[in-house]
Structure 1
């Protein structure tokens, strides 16, 4: 059965023009993406993004502006769903209390699900640094726009 999978992501950019990247591992598959994830049934985009930042980053955010919505077909890497992703520029309401890494997939501990965070300069980021097709599109848009 095919269905739509609505996802929402935050582009958190610091004063050094670096964007926050989430490196993750789930069930043996490693990927790099922007913080965020799947919308839960009955949840709006903004509430979903705020929940995702609390869950992933233990951070409260505010939305600055809509940045991009998927405008092409993308099949999920994990199931038969069609991905629709919405990206917002966001700002943290308090300093992030995360351990930031400098190397990709530099996870602490081990287990089925792992996550670490990096700041990557927008001028230096490459579409090859990001795993998924829509995120690669957003990287290119970030590089083409002065934030």
Structure 2
């Protein structure tokens, strides 16, 4: 009986650690590009106003996505949505890496990354509230 409890407790701790890591990288992904915006503006020969769309695209889908993921967690399940968010975030990262020489692809990649990254903080809060 004690072994079963300790294994269950260990599993909950592992899940909590992974959820914290996902939340951390979600916020890091949100903020990390701010430092390089002046360099992006210089590389693409764009104004600061047009370069700000790189972060705006991410934040738009991130903010809308958190509400959507929270609502969908009741119907589709947390594990499935977390996996979906990770896949979408990775897909956006690959697009950003492959299309790094095209400004419009960079904005599209950040848009997709925001849609994937929105899953992490929303679903972590659902897990904390439920369990």
Provide the TM-score with structure 1 as the length reference: 0.24
Q: Which has the higher strand share?
A: 1
Answer with 1 or 2: which has the greater Rg. Answer: 2
Q: Which has the higher helix share?
A: 2
